[in-house]
Amino acid sequence: MERRQPLAISPGWASALPTGPDTRIKITEEYAKLVARDAYFWAWPLVNIYNRRLTMAQVKEAVRAGPLVFAPLKS
């Protein structure tokens, strides 16, 4: 597989970005909890599927365990 070189950064890229967060704004505990809850809501399914794929990658042949069927992943 061929390794590609990273793209060069545009000359005006640094000036287009904000300098940083506004130091005058305080994040309340309630807002921090809301952000954490939203992050968990969106990240949990992604992590769940990732972990399932890691587990299923180890399966060599189809196996039935009670009502569940485990089968190898397609390449």
pLDDT score, position 41: 95
For residue 22, give both structure tokens.
């506004």
Write out the chain's pLDDT in tens, 75 residues.
678 888 888 888 878 888 888 889 899 999 999 999 999 999 999 999 999 999 888 888 888 989 988 888 886
End-to-end CA distance of the chain: 17
Paired residues of 69 in beta bridges: 64
DSSP 37-55: HHHHHHHHHHHHHHHHHHH
pLDDT score, position 6: 82
Contact 57, 74 (CB under 8 A): no
List, as own/partner pairs, every contact residues 44-49 make where C-beta atoms lie below 8 angstroms and the sequence separation is at least 24, other chains included. none
